[in-house]
Structure 1
Amino acid sequence: MSTALYEKAKKIRLFAMDVDGILSDGKIIYNSYDVETKAFYVQDGVGLKALQDAGVVLAIITGRTSPMVERRARELGIHHVVQGRDDKFVALSALADELGLLLDECAYMGDDLPDLKAVREAGLGVSVPNGCSETRAVADFVTERTGGNGAVREACELVLKAKGCYDDFIAKFL
C-alpha cells in the first residue's frame, strides 16, 4: 500500500458504507412470503467491531429501506443508519456535520453510481472489484474481495493498520 493511502486511512474517524454490494453481495432475495432476505459476511462484522474498538464511528447509508439492515446494524452496534437515501454524498456530508467531522476524516465504501460522489469526495473512498467502473475509478482503494465476501473486512484492516491498531486487534484473539 502506498504511503499516501495510509495517510488518508490514518485520519479516518467515521467509516460509512452502503449495504447492497458492500455489506451484502448485492442480491435481493424474496422468499415465498414476500419477505426480503440478505446474507452478511461474518468476518466483515469482526472488522467493523475492531474499528469501533479503535474509536472509529460506523454508519450505514443505503438507498433501500430494509428491516434486515436495521437488524444487522443493531447486532454490530451501528447507531447511524440512514436508509432510503439515493444521494449518498448529501447524507454523508450531513452526518459528518452532525458529528463535527471534516470530510477528510470520513471513509465511504460503495459500489454503484448512487455512491459515486460519496466515494470520490470522502477522505478515503473505497470500492469493490464487482462495483461499477465509474465508482472504482474514483476510489482511493479497491478491495481484492468482492462485496458481501470480505471486502468490508479488507477496508477495516487498511484503516486499522494505518492507525497502528492492527496488532492490538489481532492480539485480542491470541
Structure 2
Amino acid sequence: MNPHTSKPPLDPARWAHIRLFAMDVDGILTDGTVYISSDGTESKAFSVLDGLGIARVRDAGIALAWISGRYSGATTRRAEELAIRHLVQGRKDKENALRDLATHLGLSADQVCYMGDDDIDAPALRWAAIGVSVPTAMPEALEAADYVTTLPAGRGAVREICNHLLRTRSASAVS
C-alpha cells in the first residue's frame, strides 16, 4: 500500500473554493502509455468515466485546463471532444504554465486544483491550493500532493476528483 494514500482528508471548504481544475495528461488522464505505430501515428486510451466527470465539472462552471509537457495530436483531439478551453502542450514548466493561466483567468492559487504524477508536476502541485496525484506517481509528485486518489490514472482517478469537486460544491451551496 502506498503510504501517501493515508494523508488526512482535506477540509471540504478548500475543495468548494476551487474554480480551476488543471491537470497533466499522460499518467493522469491516461495510464501513461503512449502507443506509437511504425508509421509514426500515436494513440492513447482515455477513460470515458473521466470524460463524463470532466463534462459535469465544466457544466458546473469550474474552468478546466490540461497542461502537458509534450505535444500530442491524440491529446488535442480528446480536448476538442471534451471542450477543454485551456489546452497547454509542450510546457515542462508546469508551475509557470499554471500560474500564467490562473493570472489570465483572474484566479489566485487558493482557487486552483492541480493534478499531476511526475517530478515536473511537483512545483505546480505545491503551488495550487489542492495538489492531487495518483498512487503510481513518482515520489516527488506524491510528496508534493495534498491528496492521492484511490483510483488509478486513466481508470477513474480524474472522475474521483471531479465527483469530489461537485459534491463539495453542492454541499457548500446548501449550507
TM-score of the alignment, normalized to the shorter chain, above 0.5: yes
Q: Are residue 130 (structure 1) and residue 136 (structure 2) matched?
A: yes
Residue 46 of structure 2 is aligned with which of 26, 33, 40?
40
Runs of 4+, deviation exceeding 2 Å: 1-5
**Deviation of residue 8 (structure 1)?**
1.5
Identity fraction in percent: 48
Q: Gaps (5+ residues) in structure 1?
A: 166-174
Map residues 20-169 of structure 1 onto 2, 5 A cutoff: 20-164=26-170
Aligned to 1:172: none
The one-character-per-residue Cα deviations of 1:88-122 (angstroms, maximum 9, x if unpaired) are: 00000000000000011011000000100101110
CA distance in 1, matches of 2:145, 2:158: 14
Paired amino acid for 1:145:
L
Give the deviation of 1:3 after TM superposition.
6.8
Give the aligned partner of residue 4 of structure 2.
Answer: none
SS class of match (2:113):
strand
**Whole-Å Cα distance in 2 between the matches of residues 40 and 20 of structure 1?**
10
- Displacement after TM superposition at 1:2 (Å): 6.1
Give the C-alpha shift of residue 33 in structure 1. 1.3
| 2:17 is the alignment partner of 1:11 | yes
CA RMSD across the alignment? 1.4
1:45-82 CA-to-partner distances (Å, cap 9, x unmatched) read 00001101111000000000001111000000001000
| Cα distance, 1:3–1:126 mapped onto 2, change above 3 Å | closer
- CA deviation digits over 1:99-147, x for unaligned, max 9? 0000110110000001001011101110000101221122111001111
Matched residue pairs, number?
165
* 3-state SS of paired residue (2:150): coil
Secondary structure, in 3 states, of the residue corresponding to 1:163? helix
Contact 2:98-2:124 at 8 Å conserved across structures: yes
Which sections of structure 2, spanning at least 5 residues, go unmatched? 1-6
Structure 1 residue 4: Cα displacement: 3.8
Matched letter for residue 133 of structure 1: P
Between the aligned partners of 2:163 and 2:132, the Cα distance in structure 1 is 13
